Amino acid sequence: MNTSRLSVFPAATLLLALLLAAPSHAKQAGSVIFVKGAVMVERAAPVSLAKGDDVLVDDTISTAVAARTQLLMLDGAKIAIRPNSRLKIEEYAYAQAAAASTQAEIATVSDRSVMSLIKGGFRTITGVIGKADETAYEVRTPVGVLGIRGTDYTAVLCLADCDLAPGVRPGEPLEDGLYLGVMAGTIFFRNEFGEFDIRAGEYAFVSMADRTLRQLSTAPAIFLDGYDVSPGEDTAGSSDNVPLRFDGRLGIRREPGKPALDDDGSENNNQDGRESPAMPVLGTDADGNVIDITPGALPQRGNRTIGFSLGSLGPLGTGFVGVQDNSPGEYQTDSFNNFTGFASGYPADPNNIVLISRFGQYGIGTSALSESGFDALTVLRWGRWSGGTVDITLANGADVSQDLGNQSLHWVSGP
């Protein structure tokens, strides 16, 4: 600011300008290295963030529904803030702040990083603070506090706003609470029920309803909505750093070597979107197992053995049990990998040669899926169709669909 011109400002105008500016005592905590969409910092007057801007202690960074941003903290930590999120920097002190953040190596006893996750989520590769002293780093959430032991982790807080994730049924959003996943190192979660460690490759959920933590056997759906980690250059131009990058369009993962997609679905030809992921992008296969989908596509599905039983089936109205190996073209699944269609036997009719030793294609039809489950150890999946009519088409094209009435078709699947 040109101080020679201050004298011509009216006193009220000068006072207003000072009130709207960042507090003089506010200290820098980091800087912005990527912005996409509407990203604001909540101060006395909200300010739009752009690449290269400083983020300060007491700032609350908020992202719009289709926006995201990445921060590089002074201790070398990298934070990718998801769309529709709010993250507040409560406290931040780093004694080596005068040095380049990419050279941060040592934390002192006075160093501290405290943030509050108010809404949405983030993924972070943590920096120096917290590695030597666990009490120096924490992320506060409505259900408890997160700490680290040097790590790469993701945290997402669902508050009736996680209904667009892959695998989530329309109108049935994920349960409200805090979803956690650790890619490297260890984090711990602490609240009134105790302290719990979550290690690399593990996932956990803390319910808003009762604040208890429970382990998850697979990555929650909210983690599969389009973010990844890609190598690239930070603002200092070091290709050894690994900024975090959300894909341009939620729900779409780009194939390595291909441009990211902008929000309108067009290709983003920015060079920093062309690099191959440095860390695996995880998904869930048809058996509920966590798999590496970094190449950009799910692996081909294999065969499944499916067995079912029905108390009354066929023209004679007798009980029937069928077991048959199904190829990917014969079985269908819903977004939760529950079976909604399969091929199996159909009871023979001794009075009708056309219906002797026939096989059929079964579909859920108008019946409802209920009591489904999965066991990761045995890789068994089960459920039942009840009520309505099951679609059944025989190999010769005959339609023998059956009203279930008061009975259920019970099915089980294995490898």
Domain count, the chain: 2
Is the same domain home to 181 and 253? yes
Whole-angstrom distance, CA of residue 385 vs CA of residue 404: 9
Residues 6+ apart with CB under 8 A from 340: 332, 333, 334, 363, 364, 369
Is the same domain home to 58 and 157? yes
Per residue of the chain (415 residues), what is the pLDDT tens digit?
A: 333 333 333 444 444 444 444 444 568 999 999 898 899 999 888 889 999 999 999 999 999 887 888 999 998 889 999 888 999 999 999 987 644 444 455 556 688 999 999 999 999 888 889 877 888 999 999 999 999 877 889 999 998 888 766 666 666 778 899 999 998 889 999 999 899 999 988 999 999 999 999 999 888 888 876 543 332 333 333 333 333 443 333 222 333 344 443 433 344 444 444 343 444 555 545 554 555 555 555 556 678 899 999 999 887 888 899 999 988 888 988 767 788 999 998 887 766 655 554 788 999 999 999 888 877 667 788 999 998 999 998 887 888 899 998 899 999 998 7
Sheet containing strand 389-394, edge to edge, reads 332-333, 339-346, 358-363, 389-394, 402-403
Q: Which of 249, 280, 298 is the last residue of a domain?
A: 298
pLDDT of residue 355: 52
Q: Which of 280, 298, 316 is the last residue of a domain?
A: 298
Q: Which of 243, 269, 298 is the last residue of a domain?
A: 298
Whole-angstrom distance, CA of residue 316 vs CA of residue 402: 12
Whole-angstrom distance, CA of residue 327 vs CA of residue 401: 22
Range of the domain at 250: 26-298
Q: Residue for token digits 């030597």?
A: 132
Looking up residue 276, the CATH number of its domain turns out to be: 2.60.120.1440
Whole-angstrom distance, CA of residue 244 vs CA of residue 121: 13
Q: Which two tokens stand for residue 149?
A: 């032991």
Burial class (CB in 10 A: 0-12, 13-18, 19+), 378: exposed
Q: Which amino acid is at 274?
A: R
Is the same domain home to 279 and 406? no
Is the same domain home to 204 and 133? yes
Whole-angstrom distance, CA of residue 217 vs CA of residue 282: 13
Residues 6+ apart with CB under 8 A from 24: none
CA distances from 71 to 27, 317, 325 (A): 15, 66, 51
Is the same domain home to 259 and 313? no
Is the same domain home to 43 and 181? yes
Task: Return the DSSP state at 278.
Answer: S
Residues forming beta bridges with residue 342, ordered by sequence position: 362
Q: Closest Cα to residue 77, out of 50, 58, 49, 96? A: 96
Element spanning 16, H or E: helix 11-20
Q: Is residue 5 part of a domain?
A: no
Q: Closest Cα to residue 104, out of 93, 112, 94, 113? A: 94
pLDDT of residue 287: 52
Whole-angstrom distance, CA of residue 167 vs CA of residue 20: 45
Burial class (CB in 10 A: 0-12, 13-18, 19+), 111: buried
Q: Is residue 14 part of a domain?
A: no
CB distance 273 to 259 below 8 Å:
yes
